[in-house]
Amino acid sequence: MFPPELDYVRARSLDEAIGVLASREDAVPIAGGQSLVPLLKLRAVSPGLLVDIRGLKGLGGVDVGGPIRIGALATHGDIEGHAELRARCPVMAEAASKIADVQVRSFGTVGGSLAHADPLADWPPVLMALDAEVHVHGPSGSRAIPMGDFVRGPYTTALERGELVTGIVVRDCPRGAAYLKYAYRHGDFAVVAVAAALRADGGHVSEARLAAIGVADRPLRLGQAEARLAGVPVSEDAFADAAEAAARSVSPPDDHRASSGYRRALLATLVKRALRAAAGR
Amino acid sequence: MRLVGRPIPRVEDARILRGRATYLDDIEPPGTLHAGFVRSPYPHARVLRVDMSDALSDPRVIAGYTSLPGPPMAPGGKVRFQGEAVAMLVAVDRYALADALERVVVDYEPLPHVVDPAKALEEGAPLLHEENGSNVAHTARYGSPDAAGAAAPRVLEGELRVQRVVPAAMEPRGVVAAYDGHTLTVWSSTQVPYDVRKEVAGALGLPLSRVRAVQPDVGGAFGSKLIVYPEEVWVAAAAYLLGRPVKWVATRSEDFRATTHGRDMGLAFRVGFDGSGRVRSLWGRITCDVGAYHWGEGLSDIAARMLTGPYDIREAGVEVVDVYTNKTPLGAYRGAGRPEATFFVERIMDMVADELGLDPVEVRRANLVRGLPYTNPFGMTYDTGDYTGTLEAALSRLGYYELLRWADEEWARGRLVGVGLSIYVEVTTFGFETAIVRAEPDGSFTVVTGTTPHGQGVATGIAQIVADELEVPLESVRVVWGDTALVQDGIGTMGSRSITAGGSAALLAARRLREGLKAAAEQLLGSPVQYSGGRFWGPNGEAQIGDVVRAIYRGRASGPLEAYEVYNARSTYPFGVHVAVVEVDPETGHVRPVLYRSYDDAGEIVNPLLAEGQIHGGVLQGVGQALYEEAVYDGEGNLITANLALYGVPTFAEAPRYEVRFAERPHRSEHPTGTKGVGEIGAIAATPAVVRAVEHAVRRVRPGARATSTPLTPEKVWMMLRP
Ligand SMILES: Cc1cc2nc3c(=O)[nH]c(=O)nc-3n(C[C@H](O)[C@H](O)[C@H](O)COP(=O)(O)OP(=O)(O)OC[C@H]3O[C@@H](n4cnc5c(N)ncnc54)[C@H](O)[C@@H]3O)c2cc1C
């Protein structure tokens, strides 16, 4: 890697990191480096200062004692391999296992993924379907941002200057949740992927949350499909109906990886499959 | 016990797998400077001005060039593909270099460009090489011109296309050169050190004796390193002019644009046949998109001349048109013309079968060449084999009909799987090759091969051959290569030729050395002697081979200490039958390669383990061609699949389960090794087999579906599956 000259500092505390980031316009945090390093390599970005936050205490770890709390520095691999989390919220382990490969999973962090906001990142749709909160800390203190409000566009988030993602909180992880990712090759970024969280009461859908990537320039909550599921009997017909509504509600991008029409068809297939998988858990 | 024929693990493994190999980037003589290139962002442009003054004002930048001895940069003042070099900088380190490259200002006048070969042939298309008068780089005709209009009971016409791919060797290209005032040494990640030496010496007006070219360990090439690239000459020239070592290693993105691409051929065909599937005539026109420069000469000609494949089609004619477009130049890629020919003819055989509602195997059987040697309509003489017999053996060994029945059963259970079969004959081996076998003072032997292996395990295979010939243990034979200080001339590893041309040269050298040592032993022992297992003996006593060698080294006997052999190898023709099984997701169009079985008659198999490895790797590249890979240019002439994040090379996770077999009673070639070569088989046979397997699956849902171009991306398969 031969980026333009840059400074590097290893932050010793969260406050120090935030102080440096807020004071220097050209400073950026680096966590696992799995998105930032490729960009530096291509000279697509040229920060003046890298603030390494990996050593920060208290930003890692997975805690399933009360609500599920995952530190920003938890790697995809930490999440994938956490036995208690897998028992409490299997969809998170499922999603983690579908990110890239072992090397990337053992460096890349959930906080970095959220902050980077690649339109095809896997965490946002999953965390949207789980109604998670993103916890951030910055020069003006801490706040919690609903996942649905966090991503504002491609590579754009609600983070303000100097703010760091500190963790995510999932208060409600239904057992009936699934993440269906369609990629061309094992470990590729998704073409289209769908996260579904489903609750049923007496054979009827009591709650359905759906989110997708690959059908817009950002992760989308599939509100119209969710609406079709409200209160209906859990059935293949209902899933097909929701899938159709989802497909109708989007106008996916058209690029060399996939046409708009194909993405739409994939979305319908994946919504159906995700609901089926969620209902089966 | 003979070593040839045994599955001996690569002797190279210990170094390669433990990270002890020396690749190009590991070489850095003291004081090395780093070279890099300013490359055109435009597919076609006039270069009006190159201003390096800002870059050169940085004291870390040593030199900048817009011309150097060797090929011209931006010939005729133009760049013709995105990524073509317009200037070269030399700096003290790679950071300084990368900064400086961004500070070179180039004024381009963008010119109209063309990336579609059909458009490039149209009247009024932008011309890449004005002096050429058109974008036609080369034309040729083979076989009978009457084939186009030949009468036949049934006729089918169509078009087929094999996409452009990036060879994507794990190690990108790179060069290091150092001049010590006497010798210019050039290390290059290449398949052709002899050619590098000649080109560099020629460009600088140096005698060959003052230029040494070294091929260090090379992390893959697949044909993409078998030409001498301009960068190799320019870097060497800079080192010579500056009197300091200079190094250039391509970045991955740079390598994607500046290293040749492969395939990119289309075929328009007309096939005449009768109701039994016997093909009466085949006419074809191959259009090959050679990119901006005609570096890949002969690729379409080979495709044309192998177009009838293993089938006896007497009335056949092919026209070839190579077309310039504003893309990276095309070059050899594992198979180089033969995968294209095989894809074309195997598609045609399947289509004829489908037209007639016949078993594709039936149609192939009806057309297979009987009786070898056989000269095809384009003058290629297939040497040895029994194609019909091998086909029958293959069908049973591969369980082809069982797989078809299994696919039916799976479909009845709702699972969509497809089975595809392909047959190929390929041409391997050409030209001379060199070997030196040298007796070392302790009685061990060093073999210098003129071949240039880069991962194949050729050193192991040649050691087996030589150890057998000398009747010494494998450990007594060491094979080295890739340095013109060791061997002055050769051709190199390409075209599946190494074990046949290089192995035969080594075998003959070993035989001659052994005869020479025998004569020396007779002097020493004063009687006629016999030899076996490293020992000479006669009525007066015996001598170990090492004793005889030492006697020669010390002047107590006269005889040769080494033998230099040049072997001229005529082409030979492996033949085989491959079967691919895929599973198709009917809703997404996703194709998963499940199983791959092969049965090859490739002559003598020196090392079944390494031969099997060659099939695995080649097959996966053929799978990539069939399903995943494509070098995509957008309308602006940008290579948008510009690195490994954007270009889908299949990985281990996409690989099918392999079941590789070789013919139990192979047909030997005429060469001393009896081998025919295995390096390209997989890449040749796999694509048509996989494509047919997908088509076979899809046709259950859409009976008329036809696959005519690769890659069969999920979206394409999904389209085929739709009503
Ligand atoms: C080969 C490869 C394949 C991949 N495949 C996938 C895939 O299939 N799915 C997928 O979702 N991702 C994939 N990724 C991306 C991967 O998941 C990254 O790990 C993740 O996007 C970024 O996490 P990181 O810790 O590496 O962040 P870094 O690269 O260190 O940082 C990324 C960005 O986030 C900022 N940042 C980092 N941490 C914080 C924080 N705590 N607060 C605020 N800003 C922060 C950085 O400044 C930078 O702008 C892949 C990456 C590679 C290299």
- pLDDT per residue of chain A (281 residues) written in tens, 0 to 9: 899 999 999 999 999 999 999 999 999 999 999 999 999 999 999 999 999 999 999 999 999 999 999 999 999 999 999 999 999 999 999 999 999 999 999 999 999 999 999 999 999 999 999 999 999 999 999 999 999 999 999 999 999 999 999 999 999 999 999 999 999 999 999 999 999 999 999 999 999 999 999 999 999 999 999 999 999 999 999 999 999 999 999 999 999 999 999 999 999 999 999 999 999 98
| Structure token digits, residue A45 | 């970005």
User: Atom 2 of ligand 1 has which residue's CA nearest to it?
Assistant: A100
A56-86 as b/e, with b when 16 or more CB fall inside 10 Å? beebbebbbeeebbbbbbbbbbbbbbbeebb
Q: How far is A178 from chain B (nearest CA, A)?
A: 18
Residue B645 Cα to ligand 1 midpoint, Å, equals 14
DSSP state of A3: P
CA dihedral A181, A185, A190, A195 (to 10 degrees): 10
DSSP collapsed to 3 states, B673-718? CCECCCCCHHHHHHHHHHHHHHHHHHHHHCCCCCCCECCCCHHHHH
CATH 1.20.1250.20 fits B17-111+168-258, yes or no: no
Question: Domain locations in chain B?
Answer: 17-111+168-258, 430-568
Q: Which residues of chain A lie closer than 8 angstroms to B172, CB-CB? A: none
Q: How far is B1 from chain A (nearest CA, A)?
A: 44
Exposed, middle or buried by CB within 10 Å (0-12, 13-18, 19+), for B540? exposed
| Domain A62-170 classification at class level | alpha beta
DSSP state of B641: S
Q: Which residues of chain A lie closer than 8 angstroms to B623, CB-CB? A: none
| Total length of chain A | 281
Inter-chain CB proximity A185 and B715 less than 8 Å: no
Per-residue pLDDT tens over the stretch B530-556: 999 999 999 999 999 999 999 999 999
Question: Domain locations in chain A?
Answer: 7-52, 62-170, 177-280
Of A5, A185, A258, the CB nearest to B651: A185
Residues B228, B220: Cα–Cα separation, whole Å: 16
Which residues between 578 and 597 in chain B have a beta carbon less than 8 angstroms from any beta carbon of chain A?
Answer: 587-588, 590
Per-residue pLDDT tens over the stretch B10-41: 999 999 999 999 999 999 999 999 999 999 99
pLDDT number for residue B177:
98
Report chain B's terminal Cα–Cα distance, integer Å.
62
Compute φ and ψ for B297, nearest 5 degrees. -65, 140
Inter-chain CB proximity A186 and B648 less than 8 Å: no
Q: Do the bridges between strand A49-52 and strand B174-179 make them parallel or antiparallel, or are there none, so unpaired?
A: unpaired
User: Atom 10 of ligand 1 has which residue's CA nearest to it?
Assistant: A121
Do the first three CATH levels of B17-111+168-258 and B430-568 match, i.e. the same topology?
A: no
Using an 8 Å Cβ cutoff, are B677 and B429 in contact?
A: yes
Inter-chain CB proximity A256 and B632 less than 8 Å: yes
Using an 8 Å Cβ cutoff, are B372 and B388 in contact?
A: no
Residue B620's closest CA among B644, B647, B656, B592?
Answer: B656
Residue B166's closest CA among B713, B678, B715, B639?
Answer: B639
pLDDT number for residue B723:
85
Q: What is the CATH number of domain A7-52?
A: 3.30.43.10
Per-residue pLDDT tens over the stretch B259-291: 999 999 999 999 999 999 999 999 999 999 999
Q: Which residues of chain B lie closer than 8 angstroms to A259, CB-CB? A: 715
Tell me the best of A45, A116, A181 to mutate to test the pocket of ligand 1, counting ligand atoms within 8 Å of each CB and taking the most. A116
DSSP E strands in B11-153: the ranges are: 33-39, 45-51, 61-65, 78-79, 85-91, 105-110, 136-143
Q: Which residues of chain A lie closer than 8 angstroms to B98, CB-CB? A: 2-4, 43
Exposed, middle or buried by CB within 10 Å (0-12, 13-18, 19+), for B140? middle
| Domain A177-280 classification at class level | alpha beta
Residue in chain B nearest A4 by alpha carbon: B99
User: Given pLDDT bands bounded at 50, 70 and 90, which one contains residue B46?
Assistant: very high
Q: In a mutagenesis test of the A interface, which of B89, B256, B588, B649 is the best target, namely the one with the most A β-carbons within 10 Å?
A: B588
In what side-by-side order are the strands of the sheet with B657-662? Answer: B417-425, B575-584, B591-601, B657-662
Using an 8 Å Cβ cutoff, are B690 and B578 in contact?
A: no
Residue B629 has, within 13 A of its CA and on its CB side, a CA count of 27
pLDDT higher than threshold 90 for residue B145: no
User: Atom 28 of ligand 1 has which residue's CA nearest to it?
Assistant: A33
Residue A107 Cα to ligand 1 midpoint, Å, equals 9
Residue A109 Cα to ligand 1 midpoint, Å, equals 6
Q: Which residues of chain A lie closer than 8 angstroms to B715, CB-CB? A: 258-259, 262
Residues B464, B214: Cα–Cα separation, whole Å: 25
- Percent of chain B past pLDDT 70, that is, above it, reads 100
| Total length of chain B | 723
Q: Which residues of chain B lie closer than 8 angstroms to A180, CB-CB? A: none
Distance, C-alpha B695 to centroid of its chain: 27
Residues B12, B478: Cα–Cα separation, whole Å: 10
Inter-chain CB proximity B650 and A185 less than 8 Å: yes
- Ligand 1 pocket, CB under 6 A: A 28-36, 38, 72, 99-100, 104, 107-109, 111-113, 115-116, 118, 121-122, 159, 164-165, 189
Q: How far is B719 from chain A (nearest CA, A)?
A: 9
User: Atom 37 of ligand 1 has which residue's CA nearest to it?
Assistant: A112
Interval B512-517 mean pLDDT:
98
- Could you tell me which residues are beta bridge partners of residue A212? A194, A220
Residue A164 Cα to ligand 1 midpoint, Å, equals 14
Q: Which residues of chain B lie closer than 8 angstroms to A42, CB-CB? A: 253
A–B: how many Cβ contacts below 8 A? 47
Residue B681's closest CA among B610, B609, B617?
Answer: B617
pLDDT number for residue B148:
87
Per-residue pLDDT tens over the stretch B361-372: 999 999 999 999
Fold of B430-568: Aldehyde Oxidoreductase; domain 4 (3.30.365)
Residues B122, B139: Cα–Cα separation, whole Å: 16
Q: Which residues of chain B lie closer than 8 angstroms to A104, CB-CB? A: none
Using an 8 Å Cβ cutoff, are B63 and B236 in contact?
A: no
DSSP state of A163: -
Instruction: For residue B236, give the 3-state DSSP assignment.
Output: helix
Q: Residue A73 CA: which ligand 1 atom is closest?
A: 41
User: Atom 19 of ligand 1 has which residue's CA nearest to it?
Assistant: A108
Of A2, A43, A258, the CB nearest to B94: A2
Residue B179 Cα to ligand 1 midpoint, Å, equals 45
* pTM to 2 decimal places: 0.97
Per-residue pLDDT tens over the stretch B104-132: 999 999 999 999 999 999 999 999 999 99
In what side-by-side order are the strands of the sheet with A133-138? Answer: A62-63, A68-71, A164-170, A133-138, A141-146
Q: How far is B34 from chain A (nearest CA, A)?
A: 12
Inter-chain CB proximity A262 and B715 less than 8 Å: yes
Per-residue pLDDT tens over the stretch B299-324: 999 999 999 999 999 999 999 999 99
| Structure token digits, residue B556 | 């107590």
Using an 8 Å Cβ cutoff, are B177 and B245 in contact?
A: yes
Interval B647-675 mean pLDDT:
97
Using an 8 Å Cβ cutoff, are B465 and B474 in contact?
A: no
pLDDT number for residue B149:
87
Inter-chain CB proximity A184 and B713 less than 8 Å: yes
Residues B281, B147: Cα–Cα separation, whole Å: 6
Tell me the best of A28, A35, A73, A179 to mutate to test the pocket of ligand 1, counting ligand atoms within 8 Å of each CB and taking the most. A35
Residue in chain B nearest A42 by alpha carbon: B253
pLDDT number for residue A79:
98
Residue A196 Cα to ligand 1 midpoint, Å, equals 23
Residue A121 Cα to ligand 1 midpoint, Å, equals 9
Residue in chain B nearest A39 by alpha carbon: B645
Residue B336's closest CA among B309, B304, B311?
Answer: B304
User: Given pLDDT bands bounded at 50, 70 and 90, which one contains residue B150?
Assistant: confident
- Could you tell me which residues are beta bridge partners of residue B675? B603
Q: In a mutagenesis test of the A interface, which of B718, B720, B721 is the best target, namely the one with the most A β-carbons within 10 Å?
A: B718
Instruction: For residue B5, give the 3-state DSSP assignment.
Output: coil
Inter-chain CB proximity A184 and B648 less than 8 Å: yes
Residue A155 Cα to ligand 1 midpoint, Å, equals 11
